[in-house]
């Protein structure tokens, strides 16, 4: 009886044990997390700039300031929720008995 490995699909390469595939996947995940943090940081900076423009009188309308602040708030809350879900998944994996 000949047992064949499961072929890797478009997702993670699961049939390699040499560490190269795992490190490549980890690198992509790190890039994704870093990009997400940058996007949230940019949204927060835009919100802060909008508030500063409102205080200095440069803002065109209060609506634009409120939209920028809400976008920053929503993006930060979403990122925190994604972090919480990732942490829950990690904790669940750590509780698995091998």
> Which residues of the chain register pLDDT less than 70?
1, 3-26
Separation CA 29–CA 86 (nearest Å): 12
What's the pLDDT tens digit per position in 13-30?
444 555 556 566 667 888
Instruction: Report the predicted TM-score, pTM, of the whole model to 2 decimal places.
Output: 0.66
Is 76:40 a contact under the CB 8 Å cutoff?
Answer: yes
To the nearest 10 degrees (0 to 180), the angle between helices 62-95 and 20-56 is 150
For 18, 35, 79, 80, 92, the CA distances from 68, given in Å and listed in that order, are 47, 20, 17, 19, 36
Is 50:64 a contact under the CB 8 Å cutoff?
Answer: yes
């Amino acid at each position: 009886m000949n047992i064949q490995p499961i072929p890797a699909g478009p997702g993670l390469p699961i049939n390699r044990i040499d560490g190269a595939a795992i490190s490549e996947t980890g690198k992509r995940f790190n890039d994704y997390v870093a990009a997400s943090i940058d996007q949230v940081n940019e949204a927060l900076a835009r919100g802060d700039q909008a508030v500063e423009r409102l205080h200095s009188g440069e803002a065109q309308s209060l609506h634009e300031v409120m939209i920028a602040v809400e976008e920053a708030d929503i993006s930060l809350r979403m990122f925190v929720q994604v972090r919480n879900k990732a942490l829950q998944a990690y904790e669940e994996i750590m509780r698995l008995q091998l």
